[in-house]
Structure formats: C-alpha cells, structure tokens
Structure 1
C-alpha cells in the first residue's frame, strides 16, 4: 500500500487525547479490526508514512511497535510491515500475550491436557449446598425486579464483613460485586485509563490483567515482583495506575512481606497513584501458613479485587472490588452501561460461601498436589528449576535451555498445553520460563509430567537459544 492510500483511510487520526503515536495506532487498529486494512496488506515504510503525515519517524515506529505488540501487524527484516488482521482471527506470532490465554478458557475434547488455566476442575459440594440453602430466600422475594448494579446487598455485606474480619474495616457501600475478577479488572481499567496512559505492573504477572489494560491502549511498564522500585518509577513515568498481586503471586507464588506491603500502600497513597491489589489467590495458602494482611489494611485508598473463581469454582462468576465509596459508585455506573447486574441466585449462594471460605478444606489438597507435581518433575526432569511455594496454584518453572514459546509448541504436539513465560512479562525477561498449575487431579498431574517429559526429550531449542541460563560468578 502506498502512503497516499493509507492517508486517505486514516482521515483525521490526530484528534483526541494522548501521544501522537497512540492516536495513530488507535486509528490504524480501528481500520484493521473493521477490515479496511485486510490481512496481508503491506503498510508503508516508517519514513514514507512519517513524511506523508508530517510527523517524526519515531511516531510511526512507536505506533507500529504498539500494533505489533498487540498482534495486529508483523514486522520482519526484508519483508516490511504487514497487517496480521484482528487478534480474533489472526495468527499472532511475537505478541507479548500468548493468544493461547483465551483458548485455555474453553474445554477441549481433543485429548490435550491443559496446564494453562489454573482453576478448580470440579465444583465443590459446598457450592451445591449453598444453592440449596438459598432457594427458600429466593422463594420469598417479592416486589423486586432483580437488578443490582452494585451487587445484591446480602453479598455486599458478606464481603464487607470478611474484609473487616481480616483487619480491614469495610462498609457494604465500599463493595461492588462483579461477574468474576476479570470484570473487576476491566471496569477499573476503563475507569482509570485513557490511550497512552502508563501502568506499572509486575514482571511477570497475571496475563488477564495485561489484556485488560491493553484493551484501553495503555502503555505497560514492568517492575520486579512486588513492584520493587515503585517510587522512582512513579516519579519517572507518572503512571495512571499500578497493579500488584501481593499474596501467592501469579505466577511465581511469592508473598510480599508485611513491611513491603506497608511501604507500597502508603507510597501509592502519598504519590497519588491508584493501586490495584489483586487478592484472587489470597485464600490459597497451604496448611499452617497464616494469611498476610491485605494492602488495604495500610491505606484505605487501595483498590482490592477478589473472586471465588480460584477458591470455589470458576463457573460461579462472582468477583468484587473493595475501595473508596466514590470510586465504587463510579464503577457501578460504568458497569450499568453494559451489565445491569449479576445473577441474583448466584449472589445469594455466594454470600453463604464467602462466610464459609475459611472453613473450606482447600489447603491440604493444594499442598498435596503441589508436592506431587514438584516430586514428579524432580524425578523425570531434574534439570528444570521448580522452586517450592507456600500457597497459590502455579509453579514458575525455569527451563535449562531453549525458551518457553518454542517448547510450548513441542509440548502441544505431545498432547499438553503449557503457558510460556513470555506472555506474562512485559519486559521480555521471562522467555526461559513456563507456568504450570497443580489444580488437576493426581492422575492428570502424573500424565501431564509424562507428556512433558516426552516433549522435552524431543525438544530442539531454536538456533541462538541453546542456553538461557546466565553465567554464575564464582
């Protein structure tokens, strides 16, 4: 495509808020998603397009890089820049978030084992009991249309009580119920982000959060786990938002110390940076491991999100946001635009489950399956680095050679889907890692390791990636 043809289609692309490269990328994204720039079309070279737009070449390069990171275009030496198509239909090659993230949410019937989506494989008996117990309450409802954009009052109060019991005094008007933790993240991203805004995230981190932030055309900046270096990064980057998983971090399983929690929460409040505390894994501690205090215990400005998807069952779709009342009201208005309220029977059942969370027997089973997977990997794949954790549901595995992306392709051919570390790390420093979950049944974990072992023995690292292990100074 010649520059003049693309200029005609771009039209008025520079009107709006944000850096020029973000606005240019946003307009091109729209053209690609609408099919006006179909897959395979070659886009103008950087300099040619910059000249036609009367902008600096760095503006075009940055816009192309943003679209490439989203998987909408490909850039290869010698063959130029081409449209890959919208992410929903394109084969994304080099995208920072692996498209297998979405595929993993669907059940498969092709015999492939999923070591990707970490969640309970079976609803616990307590879920059916909670539904049975809520039926009399449902039968008594009268004069109620059932729309609760904030969430049902019974569930909001149950969540508020749970926070109060864990040392974070909370009123029900500080709680918004959502359709799972992912909707909570999406609403927060919509409320706080505009195209070009920067977000501080841990590297690595939960890929669903990265997707939510990218959907708002945010620029992601990675910091070490625990948001180490937070204050200098805020002063340098002026971020609009920060996101952290302080308890049983996904994917590493690490736990932020009490002192680090206090420092981070208070620094965010003092610097005026909205801080999202993802507590979804916080109820997954192993036996005898005390639950750490939430970040919200140190600053009421922290925005905490939670969910029953990991502690009860993903199909329940109950999540929440806990934060200042004005922000909760703002989020409820955003939610009402597309979702007038959640499923009332599910919320009534969830209210009972929230009150019983600490009595559910999660810890023993989680620890047993964690130990089983580590033991099998140590025996069959002793060169893999598999650090133990004290809670959570995933192991952060370092390969002795090669990279996670290419090994994942080999693993798929051997009947097991694994999540490469590159898709969880915006800095690009986790290529040598895989995320494996241990929520599967014992027999499935055994079969998973058998397939991983078979895949590893047939794996040939790409040229130039023979060893990913850094040299050790002695």
Structure 2
C-alpha cells in the first residue's frame, strides 16, 4: 500500500486554484500507473487534513475527476480509480520511490529548493580542468572516442587513488560510468531479479530505493541512528543471503554518520564468509569535516566481492557526469558488458576533465570540506535559534542533516512549507517500509544567506502548521478494491 500524500509530492505549485492542482496531480498518478484501476482513495476530510487544505479543495478535485471519468464515487463505498482510467498495472508501488526521486529535481517556481543535495555551481578548478581537456582534444588522433570501460587515463588515476588508500587496484578493476546513479543502476540490473531481497539502511539514498523498486526487489532495512548503522542487525540480515547489500558507510546520506573501522572490518568479514555482493557507496567519502578519507570496505579482509561506487558529483558538480565502479572479476566483467551495450562509453571531454581534477584533488577536497563545514554550522545555528524543538544529530560530514519534527507529519508539513516558498524532502522518500514520517532531510549546500532565509521560511511555515493543529493521524493509504 502507498501513502497518497507521499505520492502526491509537491502538487500545490502553480497559479491555478488548489483543487485544479490537486486534480491534475491525481490524474497524472493515474496515467503513470502509480494509482491502479480500482484503487480506493482516502475520504475527503482526512485527506484534506493530511494536505493542510480545506475539505472543499479535495471535494472539488474528486468531483472534477469523476466528471472526467477518472474516478468513481459511490455512496457507502467511497472514491476509487475508475476501472478503465489507467493502463495495465505493472508499476504500482515500484513507482513511488522513483517518482519521489525524480521530483527532487523539479525546481518549484519562486521557491528555495531544499530537495536535491548537490553543489549549485561548478568550482573554478572544474573550469580550468575543462579548458585543459579542450586543449587535449585538439590533439587527439587515431581515437574514435568510444571507450566502453572508460578513458584509460582516468581509470589509471582512480586505480592509483584506491591503491594509495590501502586498496590495491589496477586500471582493469575500474569501470567509468555516467555518474554514481548509472553505477547503481548497472549493479541492480545485473544482480537483482523481481522478488529478490536487498538489504539497505533506513534511511538511505532515495535514488537507490527508486532502483530497488523498479527492479521489484523486497527491501529489508537496518536502522541508522545517531551512532550510525545498527551493525548487529546488518550482520543478521546479511547472514540470510540477500541478492545485494547497499551501504553508505562514509558520511551517510542523509545522517552524515561514518562507520568506524571495527564495524567496517566486521561487515567485510561477513561479506566474505557468506559470499555476498555488497555495494560500498563512497559518493560522500571525501566530504568529512576533518581527518583522512575513511578506508573502503573492500580494503578489509573478506572484502574481495565488495563493490565500491563513487563519483565527482558531490565533490565537484552534479553536471560533471563521471562516476565509477571498482570491483574484481567476474563481477566487473558482467558490468562492463552491460555498460557497453547501454551507451558504448561516456563523454571523453568530461573524463579528461575528471582526470585533471584527480591529478591533485587535495586542494579541491580541502576547499569543499571547509565550505560544507561552515554551511553545516550555519544551518544548525539557524535551526537552534528559530526551531529549538526540532531535533538532529550534527553530521560528521556529507551534505545533509536528518531532522526530526516534534509532532505532525513531514509530508503534510512539506505542503505547508511549499506555500511559504521552500521545497522540502520528507523522510518517507528515504525510508523503505516506512519510518520516516516524522523526519526531513535538510541539505546545507546553499550559501549561508540562503540557508538563513530558508530556515526563516520554514519557521514561518511551522508556525502556520502548528496553528492549524498539524495532522497527527496515521498515513492515508491507497487501497486495492
């Protein structure tokens, strides 16, 4: 079952009356297959409370869709999707995390966007790297530009960096991808069949949950708290032999926690003991506020089958679509074939620029860490000042705070916040199987001035939400009828 308020996302944006916006969003959910034919919808009054609108808004939206033939409404039976109003089912619940993930990238009009956690501008070092890459391209000859496994120069640079961190790696152990998202997509497509079990942390990166949902996997979760991942629960889940285990041990998304060396050693040993494929998502690994970059899980005994995924999207810029997979045969061989069939190789100019950045990344890492630490502290100070009842654990690194509301529902509050011109990501988008209803992920990537203004708007929205009583009811489920 899916929570309708979660599926609706940021529906209340645009110049039209709210009932038209709500009807348009429900209509699109039906057309996309997220609301299957015959699915029962919540009653008007509780849905209105969850969306923080008047009951009349929901009544008019339902009535409009009924007139169009998209919904049926019967006395005593409630409201449901019309039998012929949608295509054959097949997406259903698998689409909900995918829709939430894609919604993170939709800039709401005239609003501050705190949904997607990525740098908002390329650093000067990237400008210089592309200038050098362009000059290098002018001298290319006898090169058709297709490098399915990635540019040899970049693979060698990454292999050297892994080796320097204690994980002996050759260029043949590295596959270049179009960002870490493609790396995860390749791994899921090659390793997960419908009905397979995937172990993941809760909360976790929403892009991974979207891929697991599309693959039809059953996600078994282990909680991440203030002290990090519940490693005993993780080891118990791994002992049951899942098809895939997905972890973000280095400055976890969204909590910013880091797994300590002893726990890394235990996870690697369990992977080796049970012959499991474990993904170590290192996208945030360079973003710790202090100290060295944590060692990869694969560097510990038993880590031979652990796959390491990384990218430059968080360290440099999301528009630099360069990621990588570090793995050993035969895992990498299968991924290399799948990647070649998918796109025949990535953009050469971007890979050249990435190789330039990795030639001496220390300055880029140092500047990025300092910037993130300053902005983390500013966001924390603004929350403490304006919203002292909100709870969070300061991050050790990464890009986000995981914040707990003192009452109410984050998805419902996000609707109110949007009317105060700030877009937020509710915790349910990061929590497979539920558990994120009281949580928000707040990135600290914007300038200090923008963060201060964002918290001011959030605080105003929270005051309005509290004055309205804030829904304290359970999530409203879409029911099959």
TM-score (norm 1): 0.79
**1:190-209 deviation line (CA, Å, top 9, x unaligned):** 11011111100001100000
Give the whole-Å Cα distance in 2 for the aligned partners of 1:38 and 1:283: 37
Q: For residue 371 of structure 1, give the secondary structure of its aligned residue in structure 2.
A: helix
Aligned to 1:154, the other structure's residue is in SS state helix
Alignment of 1:358 with 2:362, yes or no, is yes
Aligned partners of 1:38, 1:94: CA distance in 2, in Å? 8
The range that moved more, 209-218 or 271-280, is 209-218
Tell whether 2:385 aligns with 1:386.
Answer: no
1:402/1:465 contact within 8 Å kept: no
* Post-superposition offset of 1:300: 2.5
Aligned match of 2:260: 257
Equivalent residue runs for 1:116-265 within 5 Å: 116-225=115-224, 226=229, 228=231, 229-236=233-240, 238-265=241-268
Partner of 1:41 in structure 2?
37
Q: What CA deviation, in whole Å up to 9, does each residue of 1:245-276 have, x standing for no partner?
A: 00100001111010000100110121111000
Cα pair 2:29 2:35 within 8 Å, conserved: no
Residue 432 (structure 2) pairs with residue 441 (structure 1): no
1:292-371 alignment, distance < 5 Å: 292-298=294-300, 299-360=303-364, 361-371=367-377
1:41, CA displacement in angstroms? 3.1
How far did residue 291 of structure 1 move? 1.9
Q: Which runs of 5+ in 1 are unaligned?
A: 1-31, 45-72, 467-474
What is the distance in 2 between the residues matched to 1:98 and 1:150? 27
Which one of the candidate residues 417, 431, 444 is aligned to 1:425? Answer: 431
CA spacing shift, 1:195–1:227, aligned 2, 3 Å:
farther
* Matched positions, count: 400
CA contact (8 A) 1:206 1:251 kept: yes
SS of residue matched to 1:182: helix
Aligned to 2:62: none
Relative contact order (C-alpha < 8 Å, sep 6+): which is higher?
2
Q: Is 2:291 the counterpart of 1:289?
A: yes
User: 1:280 is paired with a residue of what secondary structure?
Assistant: coil
DSSP 3-state at the match of 1:132? helix
Moved over 6 A (4+): 32-40, 92-95
Cα contact 2:37–2:86 (8 A) shared by 1: no
User: Judging changes above 3 Å, is the alpha-carbon distance between structure 1 residues 337 and 227 closer, same or farther for their aligned structure 2 residues?
Assistant: farther
> SS in structure 2 opposite 1:419?
strand
Task: Select between 136-145 and 299-308 the one with higher mean Cα deviation.
Answer: 136-145
**Structure 1: how far apart are the matches of 2:321 and 2:193?**
27
Q: 1: distance between equivalents of 2:35 and 2:249?
A: 41
Instruction: Provide closer, same or farther for how the CA distance between residues 463 and 354 of structure 1 changes in structure 2, counting only shifts above 3 A.
Output: same
Query: For the Cα contact (< 8 Å) 1:42–1:80, is it kept in 2?
Result: no
2:479 aligns with none
Q: How far apart, CA to CA, are the structure 2 residues paired with 1:375 and 1:86?
A: 49
SS in 1 for 2:425: strand
Query: 1:120·1:313 contact (CA, 8 Å) conserved in 2?
Result: yes
Offset of 1:395 from its aligned partner?
0.2
Task: State the 1:355 CA deviation.
Answer: 2.6
1:93, distance to aligned residue in structure 2 (A) = 10
What's the TM-score once normalised by structure 2's chain length? Answer: 0.77
State the Cα distance separating 1:100 from its structure 2 match. 4.1
Flag the 1:93–1:326 CA change in 2: closer, same or farther, 3 A.
Answer: closer
Alpha-carbon distance, 1:301 to partner: 1.6
Q: Deviation digits for residues 439-464 of structure 1, max 9, x if unmatched? A: 00112111101110110001132143
**Alpha-carbon offset, residue 307 of structure 1:** 0.5
Residues 150-194 of structure 1, C-alpha deviation per residue, up to 9 Å, x if partnerless? 001011111111111111111000000000000000000011011
Looking at structure 1, the residues matched to 321 and 130 of structure 2 have their Cα atoms a distance apart, in angstroms, of 14
Relative to structure 1, the CA distance from residue 94 to residue 178 in structure 2 (aligned partners, 3 Å threshold; closer, same or farther) is closer
Q: Give the match for residue 8 of structure 2.
A: none
Matched with 2:52 is none
Any residues of structure 2 matched to 1:263-274 within 5 Å, and which?
263-274=266-277
* Cα offset, 1:232, TM superposition: 2.2
Task: Give SS of 2:391's match.
Answer: coil
Partner of residue 97, structure 2? 97
Q: Confirm whether residue 373 of structure 1 aligns to residue 379 of structure 2.
A: yes
Name the structure 2 match of 1:408: 414
Which deviations, in whole Å up to 9, do the C-alpha atoms of 1:407-458 show, x marking residues without a partner? 1111111111111111111131221110000000112111101110110001
Shift of 1:81: 6.8
